[in-house]
């Protein structure tokens, strides 16, 4: 696990095991807020040891940006923490999440230590605002990657923990393209210093607007190209011929994983567009 200190009391943790997934921590004299966890127990335990043993900051809250296992598997390692998420996050974890964990345990025995721990404090509409020490955390719904996705804005620091709403390549298989574009386009007006992506590197102030534009352009290009395939009544697998570069993105980020995400996006778009005709 990689650890980065982005301010005096804000840390980012990046997995070296799975897809450069990220988690974050806000540390104060009153304790710590953990924003997401990592996919595998060993790395989440590293976070726990760093925060609680080295810094002496008990994790009081965990905020789940969405229900996907790579962000929520570690909830169970903080039994005294209050878990916060969207109401749909709780619903999805309790159904899709439980089934997914059962399957994942068959492939990864280390996940036997993981238990599903559901959010207790739920965002249903509007925002949740709470304080930890001198920090103000503003939680708001930002669907697109998934229906339950939320972001966490650290108001004093102007840092946005965007979850998977912001990634090197937008991923909408479990979400909605229009929702994603809408959520992305809200970012530039926030006046941010940093955006912490759900996977990959932190996006710095001077890079944010272009990162948003790049992701929106990708989504619009992918939709247009898949629409053409559907209109021509070509088979579903024809979308595999649409390479990522033709949609304006590189296949290099996340150690090449984005190429797989791109193909999954195309197939999902084909299914939705074909069903709507």
Same domain, 95 and 198: yes
Other CB atoms within a 10 A radius of the CB of residue 211 amount to 19
Find the CATH number of the domain harbouring 15: 3.60.15.10
Same domain, 263 and 131: no
| Res 276: pLDDT | 83
Same domain, 211 and 148: yes
Q: How many domains does the chain have?
A: 2
Same domain, 183 and 231: no
Same domain, 112 and 201: yes
Mean pLDDT, the chain cut into blocks of 10 residues (277 residues total) = 96 98 98 98 99 98 99 99 99 98 96 98 94 95 99 98 99 99 99 99 98 99 98 98 98 97 99 89
Phi first, then psi: give them for residue 83, nearest 5 degrees: -95, 130
Same domain, 11 and 144: yes
Same domain, 243 and 184: no
Task: Quickly list DSSP for 106-152.
Answer: HH-GGGGG------SEEE-SSEEEEEETTEEEEEEE--SSSTT-EEE
Same domain, 177 and 52: yes
Same domain, 74 and 117: yes
- Write down which residue in 190, 215, 240 finishes a domain: 215
Same domain, 204 and 243: no
- What global pTM score does this model have? 0.97
Same domain, 51 and 112: yes
Please give the structure tokens belonging to residue 178: 């229009």
- Write down which residue in 198, 215, 232 finishes a domain: 215
Calpha distance 277→260 (Å, rounded): 26
- Residues forming beta bridges with residue 5, ordered by sequence position: 11
Degrees, nearest 5: CA angle 244-166-152: 175
The alpha carbon of 70 is separated from its chain's Cα centroid by a whole number of angstroms, namely: 9
Q: Which domain holds residue 248?
A: 218-276
Phi first, then psi: give them for residue 143, nearest 5 degrees: -70, 165
Same domain, 194 and 229: no
Calpha distance 277→275 (Å, rounded): 6
């Amino acid at each position: 696990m990689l650890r980065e200190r982005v301010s005096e009391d804000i840390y980012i943790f990046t997995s070296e095991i799975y897809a450069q997934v990220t988690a974050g921590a806000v540390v104060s004299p009153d304790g710590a807020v953990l924003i997401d966890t990592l996919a595998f127990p060993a790395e989440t335990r590293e976070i726990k040891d760093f925060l609680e043993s080295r810094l002496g900051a008990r994790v009081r809250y965990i905020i789940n940006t969405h229900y996907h296992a790579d962000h929520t598997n570690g909830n169970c390692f903080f039994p005294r923490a209050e878990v916060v998420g969207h109401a749909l996050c709780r619903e999805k974890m309790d159904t899709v999440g439980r089934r997914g964990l059962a399957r994942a345990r068959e492939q990864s025995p280390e996940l036997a230590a993981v238990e599903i721990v559901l959010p207790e404090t739920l965002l249903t509409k509007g925002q949740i605002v709470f304080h930890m020490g001198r920090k103000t955390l503003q939680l708001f719904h930002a669907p697109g990657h998934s229906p339950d996705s939320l972001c966490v804005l650290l108001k004093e620091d102007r840092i946005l923990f965007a979850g998977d709403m912001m990634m090197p390549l937008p991923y909408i298989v479990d979400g909605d393209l229009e929702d994603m574009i809408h959520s992305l386009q809200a970012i530039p007006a926030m006046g941010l210093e940093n955006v912490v992506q759900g996977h990959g590197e932190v996006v710095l102030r001077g890079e944010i607007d272009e990162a948003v534009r790049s992701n929106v352009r990708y989504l619009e290009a992918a939709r247009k190209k898949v629409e053409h395939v559907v209109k021509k009544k070509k088979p579903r697998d024809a979308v595999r011929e649409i390479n990522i570069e033709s949609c304006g993105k590189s296949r290099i980020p996340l150690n090449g994983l984005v190429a797989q995400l791109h193909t999954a996006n195309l197939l999902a778009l084909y299914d939705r567009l074909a069903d709507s005709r």
